[in-house]
Chains A and B, each alone.
Chain A
Amino acid sequence: MIDGTLGGPVDQEYLLQARQMQALSLGVHILIVCFGIAFPAMVLFLEGLWLRTGDPVYKAVAKRWSKAMIILFACGVVTGTILSFELGLLWPEFMATFGDVFGLAFGLEGFSFFMEAIFIAIYVYGWDRLPPRVHLACGAPIIIAGMTGALFVISVNGWMNKPEGFDIRDGEVVNVRPWEALFNDNFWHEFVHMYLAGIIVAGFIVAAVYAAGWLRGNRERRHRVGLVVALSFAALAAPAQLLVGDWAARTVAENQPTKLAVFEGLGPTEDGAPLHILGIYEDGEVKYGIELPKLLSLLAYHDPDARVQGLDAVSADDRPSDTGINIVRLAFQAMVFIGSGLAAIGVVFLWTWWRRRRLPQSPWFYRALVVAGPLSYVALLCGWITTEVGRQPWVVYEVMRTEDAVTGADGIPLGYGALVVVYLGLAGIAAVMLRRLARKPLEV
């Protein structure tokens, strides 16, 4: 156990609200992050096509998308600023005690953010002002910085789930090894999982916008180009995500067996543990679910008879509450279900494109795409709920409890309410801006 360097636990009546507030801010920011990850690559791909073929439609779409990109990036700057504050405002004891262990990653992320801000500005404002090849080259740092930025933030989350790079002596953090904390065991799989998720979410949301237009009859070449490029990114990433998800689940099984047990709601430790679809976790077991025998063992260890540690291996204080377990189960299954659906859409598209050299013709394909956009975001949120609620009651897994990390300051409900209003306002503004942008005639 650890004593916080600010003086240990405080009474905080609104711990749950503080958690929700943090989740809200992360949930808003992560959507924008997806566009930060994937949009620059899509835009650059289009610009590259333009430079190769000289076809002005590619350039027009790239230019249009780059303007949407900078609107979303501006939203990302302000929501990212709020997040940096919030980590301290809500979790001062966590930051005070472990800031020196995991902070290096955020320092590196800060530089990534800087590079992104600089080159997005040069890129978007530099259309037709810089020589074409220089302009194209300015896009590369945006892609790289988007990748490294995500990498370093994910590293911190990975560390919270597998805390490394320090020792605890007499309740104090000693012998800090920041590089070890940075490159923790969860670093790679969480990063790849999130990076692909970013491509999937941004790709499917952009594709959904074009699919809606398609159903309304907008089928000119520029719409077709927009649809195909966005959908290609998403369609390639979605099936790959299934494999990465498997990797992630096996890593959780190894590093955080209790968390894996939460995914299923597995009460006692079992050989050949089943997986229940739907149902409710109650009194140490899943009721009313559809049982698929041995599936959990198979998924977690690639062996149908493998032993899976149950929830009862740790005391009730050291695992999520029953409500938490049910939230995680639902979120986990929703993520897997939606993710599989997205992969199926991706395969249909890729197959049709490859074998028949054309887009699918059925309106149902486009209706599915319209739904897939928002659902991909839902799946992303479900994934984060799975990992974050599944980590409870720990903020630093098995080292510091969330309740010991929270602020002693008053006013959390007020701040929470204010933030909800502000985010709704921001969402409204972003929506208005993007709509206006979409209605402007395309400039070449």
Chain B
Amino acid sequence: MLADLAAVVIAIGLTAYVVLGGADFGTGIWDVTASGHEMRARIKRSMGPVWEANHVWLIFVLVMLWTAFPRAFGSITSTLALPLFVAAVGIILRGGAFALRGEAATIVESHSIGAVFAVSSVLVPFFLGAAVGGIASGRVPVGNAEGDAITSWWNETGVLVGLIAIVTGAHVAAVFLGADSHRAGQPDLVRAFRIRALGSGVVAGGLAIAGLFVVRSDAPDLYDGLTSDAGLACVIGSAAAGVITLALEWRSRFEPARYTAAAAVGAIVAGYVIAQQPYLLPPDLTVEEAAAPDATLAALLASVAVGLLILVPSLVWLFRLHLGGRLDTGSNT
């Protein structure tokens, strides 16, 4: 019971990171392919005040995982050391490049910073996604680096999840940026991001459908979970939210599209978590077996409950200020 509750908390954190952090990474693609200075400035201003908070979700997921499910954490980090290390390095590079974005003194400098920003924006979601794909397809056994260092994540499911992470991030980013541009009264950018949101949404949908076939052959257990009961409901829900997002974008209803795009991505994460039940590291380690003793789980969950009472209102206030344009100072670092 406590173990399941802890798993739910982690799943919520993961969802928040995939939506908010993913969108954050997604901006990298739109930055490097931006049609002009105005678009890059928009991206920087939209991300500025919230990117740190968006990235803390990852730390939240990690600490929750190692406290509530230490054995799974040690197994994951040792077998999947390579993709996780690359992702971690990518996060540093990206943070650095983002800070310097728009501060470059020369064209060459500007181009190389842009390249680092774009490359790391793609690398991080890909490798984190590939790591999740490795776990989902049952390639991370319990033990200290017991799984294969390469094939545990470099496989059909891993690559698929990595690609989905990139594309859905780009899609959500385009939707968010379109809504931000709309609110800021920048019609050229609204048009540009609308097209990008529609295009990336179609690609994401296609990838998701093709992905089901990949998963069916590469990870049949996961496929069964995704195509039955609650897992299936999530998949359908995600597809519906995705279609609604496209319809809203089509009709230029940018504000509600934010939430449906987030829901579409969130439903994928939820579907994955449900499909994998009762396992944390399929095919052997269940959530129950992996869990810390009840004393730890109770203490952790109590802390989370109290923490959320403070965190949620603060986070809501930050996003209200941000989305209301009250923190938009233009050239701020």
Chain A positions near chain B (C-beta within 8 angstroms): 4-7, 10, 67, 70-71, 73-75, 77-82, 84-89, 92-101, 103-104, 106-111, 113-115, 117-122, 124-127, 129-130, 141, 176-179, 407-411, 415, 418-419, 422-423, 425-426, 429-430, 432-433, 436-437
> Could you list 26 examples of A-B contacts with CB < 8 Å?
A10-B144, A74-B99, A78-B55, A80-B59, A81-B91, A84-B63, A85-B62, A87-B77, A88-B84, A94-B74, A104-B299, A106-B63, A106-B66, A107-B63, A110-B59, A110-B60, A111-B303, A114-B307, A115-B314, A118-B311, A118-B314, A119-B314, A121-B52, A122-B317, A407-B145, A423-B92
The answer to whether B70 touches A118, judged by C-beta atoms less than 8 angstroms apart, is no
Instruction: Specify which chain A residues have a CB less than 8 angstroms from the CB of B296 in the assembled complex.
Output: 100-101, 103-104, 176, 178
Interface membership of chain B positions 54-71, coded 1 if the CB is closer than 8 angstroms to chain A and 0 otherwise: 011011101110111111
Chain B positions near chain A (C-beta within 8 angstroms): 48-50, 52-53, 55-56, 58-60, 62-64, 66-71, 73-79, 81-82, 84-85, 87-89, 91-96, 98-100, 103, 142-146, 149, 292-293, 295-296, 299-300, 303-304, 307, 310-311, 314-315, 317-318, 321-322, 326-329, 332-333
Instruction: Specify which chain B residues have a CB less than 8 angstroms from the CB of A78 in the assembled complex.
Output: 55, 91-92, 94-96
CA distance A78 to B51 in the complex (A): 11
Residue in chain B with minimal CB distance to A10: B144
CB distance from A145 to the nearest CB of B (A): 10
The answer to whether A96 touches B307, judged by C-beta atoms less than 8 angstroms apart, is no
CB distance from A238 to the nearest CB of B (A): 31
Instruction: Specify which chain B residues have a CB less than 8 angstroms from the CB of A77 in the assembled complex.
Output: 52, 55-56, 95
The answer to whether A6 touches B144, judged by C-beta atoms less than 8 angstroms apart, is yes
CB distance from B47 to the nearest CB of A (A): 11
CA distance A94 to B144 in the complex (A): 10
CA distance A108 to B60 in the complex (A): 10
The answer to whether A85 touches B77, judged by C-beta atoms less than 8 angstroms apart, is yes
Instruction: Specify which chain B residues have a CB less than 8 angstroms from the CB of A87 in the assembled complex.
Output: 66, 77
Instruction: Specify which chain A residues have a CB less than 8 angstroms from the CB of B91 in the assembled complex.
Output: 78, 81-82
Instruction: Specify which chain A residues have a CB less than 8 angstroms from the CB of B327 in the assembled complex.
Output: 121-122, 125-126, 129
The answer to whether B318 touches A107, judged by C-beta atoms less than 8 angstroms apart, is no
CB distance from A300 to the nearest CB of B (A): 35
CA distance A108 to B310 in the complex (A): 12
Beyond A126-B321, A423-B92, 9 additional pairs, beta carbon < 8 A: A73-B52, A88-B84, A92-B78, A97-B70, A118-B317, A125-B329, A407-B77, A410-B149, A422-B92
